[in-house]
Every structure is written in structure tokens, then in C-alpha cells.
Chain A
Amino acid sequence: MRRHVISVLVNDQPGVLQRVAGLFGRRGFNIESITVGSSEEPGLSRMIIVTRGDEKTMEQVSKQLYKLIDVAKVVDLSASPMVARELALIKVGAEPAERPEILGVVDTFRASVVDVGPNTLIVQVVGDSDKIDAMVELLKPYGIKELTRTGVTAMTRGMIRKQQP
């Protein structure tokens, strides 16, 4: 059950996210994360879906997605070298005395502090999911008050290969 990152180019229409997410649900495909935003082509949005499954499941995921009238293109990004990034905002308990220590962790991860409260900091970290997991682990001892993650967005490295439709 490999982790797959799938890019789905869809018409920018109301209800498309529901169609795609619904398809995953009712066909019994798993969704670890799903993100949607605009793409390089006007009128088309790009969804990045992280899912797990064997090759047969992935083939079905792709074929079933193509059945949706609004789906233009489905690419398994994880089949080639890719860049995958996730953003997390972590509100961590930070009494003044603890702050230098926390800032040390933040620096090491090339994360940044985007808000300072009387006894909290908001840390913003960008990276692959493992890096964010590690950051969260390191910040846990200080007390995580709130945590939000965006889900993965991704693209293949270098030139896009011609994909089979």
C-alpha cells in the first residue's frame, strides 16, 4: 500500500470537489489529504490528492476519475521525482523563558515565527509531511495549543513528461 500523490486537473466549476471527493468515498478509495487551487490554465483548477493503495487500486482511481466529465487530466506525481510540500501553523505555549529554546528549534527547521502572543507563539513551517511531523514532535513538550495543516501540494521536478490521457 504505497502512498501516492495524484494531481487532478479539473474544470473550475461548482461541485467538482464534491464529485471527486464523493467518488473516492463511494468507491472505497482512501483520501489522506486533498487540496484545491487554481492552475496555470484559466478555467481549470488543480487538486492534489494523497492516497494509499496498490497499483490496481491506483489504476482504478485514475480511470474512475477520468469518467467524471469535469476531469481533464490525472497524473500520479509520485511515479516520478517530485516536490511535495505542506504548510502547518502551530500555536505553541511559550513563556518568555522558553522562547529562546523554541526559536532554536524553529531556526533549525527553517521555520518562522509569524505571531507572538503574551505566552504563545505561532510557528509556520513548510516542508514535506515528515518534516512537519518532526517539527510537531519537537514542539509538543512546550504544549501545542492549536495546530492546522494544509495538506500536501506537489509537482514533478523539471520538465513535465507527456502524460498518457
Chain B
Amino acid sequence: MTAYLLRRFLSLSLSLVAASLVIFLVMEVVPGDPASFMMGINADPAAVVALRTQLGLDDPLPLRYLSWVAGLLQGDFGVSYTYRVPVSELISERVAISLPLTLYALALSTLIAFPAGILAAAKRNSAADVSVMGATQLGVAIPNFWFAMILVLVFAINLRWFSAGGFPGWEAGFWPAIKALTLPAIALALPQASILARVMRSSLIDTLDEDFMRTARAKGLSRGQALRRHALRNALIPVLTIIGLQFSFLLAGGIIIENVFYLPGLGRLVFQAITQRDLIVVRSVVILLVFAVIVVTFLVDLAYAAADPRLRRRRA
């Protein structure tokens, strides 16, 4: 197990180095000078030059890359060009919204998908199965931004139960904050739940057809007992993969939802930073997301091992 962990750690570090280089270079070829963006079209050219020097944009490329990476290693993400505050501060403020939103959406999605998927698989071809499958078909097909707008229309504009968006901050209390995240979480969760429910159903059905299930039934277990004790655990592997993928997708990909609900999350930070050419923010957030994806993939691997002892033994 130690050797395995070491190997994983090494490949993780290599991926990060490669990613940092690619991200840095890609940002360099994107047209657009942060200084001229900040100064606008009526600005004095001398002032733009002064600002470029002040921001360190005239330093040679390798020097800027190395100083960025050196900073990252010490947990220093640099200073945002536009906001002029440490990037780490910006990111942590945004993660405080995006991470809970992601987890909230993931929890909702799992809570909806598991029972729905299990029900559909257990009662295959019944009316329940058909309605679950129909609903999930719809859930996959509906774009989440459209669904988000419908939620705003119904619950914010017509019923006035919720704000149309925004975030009061965690200092406003747990419930107000959770309330502000509820509509966005639902909008994010429903399409994910639909996918997850379908995966859960087909995975369970595959497992139910396996030999060991017949054996379990032959030993005298009821259909429900066999499903709970043996099938669920085995059907979890593909489901875990999807949950892992969904986590990364939601964390970075909540950007449209964050725009619809004007939540100051990570997605919106990147979006805004790209349009403003706040390259140092873009680079840092992207490398952080890459890191998050790698870590989550690693955790999902560990979860496989927990769910399936055979995988654990093979690796040990």
C-alpha cells in the first residue's frame, strides 16, 4: 500500500508540474494586455507603460514562470492585477461559496438518484421504472441554466420565497447562506441526479444478473435482502466514478449557474479574470482546479478499494 501511495504521489506531482507549464504558456499566448485593459481607451500611453512596469509584466518569461511556481510552492499565489489583493485571499473567499454549493448539489443529487435508481432497478419494467426513466430523460435533456431561470422565475419573481440570487455571506448565519444556495444547488443537482440515477439503475441491473446473486437468492434471501446485502455494494463502483467526475465538473463548471444567480463563486472569478486579463488569477485558479481533480480522482480510487476488497488486494 505504501509503494502504491508513493507512486500515486509522484505521478500527481508530475501532472501538476506539466499542468502549471501548459497553463502558464497558454495564458501567455492569449492576446490582451492587462495594463491596457485596466487603463481604458482614453488613457495616457505613458500611464499604461508605468502600470506595466509596476505589475512586473515586462520581466522575461522564464523569470515570471519560475517566480510564480516558487510562490505556489510556498502557498503564495501572487497579487491580482485588477483587485490588487493577494490571489489566495480571493480564492479562499470564492471557495467558501463554490465548495459548499458543490457539496450541497452533490448531496441533493445523490439523495435523489440513489432511491430513484434502486427503485427503477428493483421494479424493472414496472410503471415506477418507466416514470423514473422518463423523468431522468427529461433531467438530462434540460439545460441547467434554463432550469435555473425557471426556478428564479417561479420562486423568486412570482412567489418571492427566495432572492433571485446573490449570497449574504456565511457571517449572515448558516440558514440564510444555505437558503441562498438552495436554488442554485437544485439547478445544479437535477441534471446530475438524472445521470446518476440512470447509472445506478443499469449498474444494479447488471449486478442482479450475476451468478452470485442467483446463489444468494438460492440461499433463501428475498429479492430485497439480496439487493441490499450483495448487489448494492457491487453496483457502487461505476456510481462512485460518476460522483467523482461530477464533483470536479460542479466545482469548476458551476460558472453558468453562478452567473444566473450572481453568486460570487470560483467559476465567476475565473470568468471575470479572463475577460479582465487578470492572468495571475486565471493561472492560479486553474492550477488549483487541476489539483482538486487529481486529488478527487485519487480519493475515488481509494473509495473503489473500500467498496471492492479484490481491488485492495491486487494493489497491496
- Determine if chain A interacts with chain B: no
